Amino acid sequence: MDISRIFHTLCVISAVIFTGASASAEGLTPTGVFANLPLDVIDMLRPAARLDMIDYYAEADSLAPVQDALGGSSRLEAVAPDYLRAAITPVSTLEIKLLPLAADTIVMTLYTVKGDGIAADSKVDFFDRDLKPLQAGKFLKLPEARNFFRLKGSDISARKLDELLPFSSIALSTGPGDTPLSAEFTSVGTLPDEEASMLTPLLQNLEFLWTGKSYKLRR
């Protein structure tokens, strides 16, 4: 590593550490949040590995992978002023979104796991700017399984739907700026072919819009 590379790396690390240490300051950034998230939120990547990912991305948007805790590769896929998406493992992603709340800003994280034979499913968490956990239900109430299906005019009742779906998996995703929060019901993909073919035509994705206080379902 040459002197310029060392200097650049030290600058990036210093900037990220400063962001985390001054969480109540104006400079809250997705990369600062990514570097400082508690290990129970993102235990596959130690802070040093996250700093490497930020450093690589900063160098001409390099997507060079970094080794995760299991020896796999992780990389940043997108970084914006209010948004970050990282591929943590081949089957998992992390999204970070900064959300305005009154005169403050809060943080939403979406950790999504998806693999062969596994219905994609997301865990959503909210934090204050000091990365202290907030009550998720205060900001987002996910709908019941039946809300993802257009049952009116079909041969399937809500009761029958409940019988066909013993569990619910929902994949959440968002993006920078005013991108809505999208919710996809994924459990149907794990059903036997006959049942899946009945339900798939009735499926619909749902979108939520940030109101400045919470996410509300787009009608």
Residue-wise pLDDT for 122-178, tens only, equals 999 999 999 999 999 999 999 889 999 999 888 888 888 888 887 889 999 999 999
CA distances for 176 relative to 38, 69, 84, 219, angstroms: 23, 28, 8, 21
Q: Quick: pLDDT tens for 78-110.
A: 999 999 999 998 889 999 999 999 889 999 999
Q: Give CA–CA dist 15/28, Å, rounded.
A: 11
Single-letter residue type at 157: S
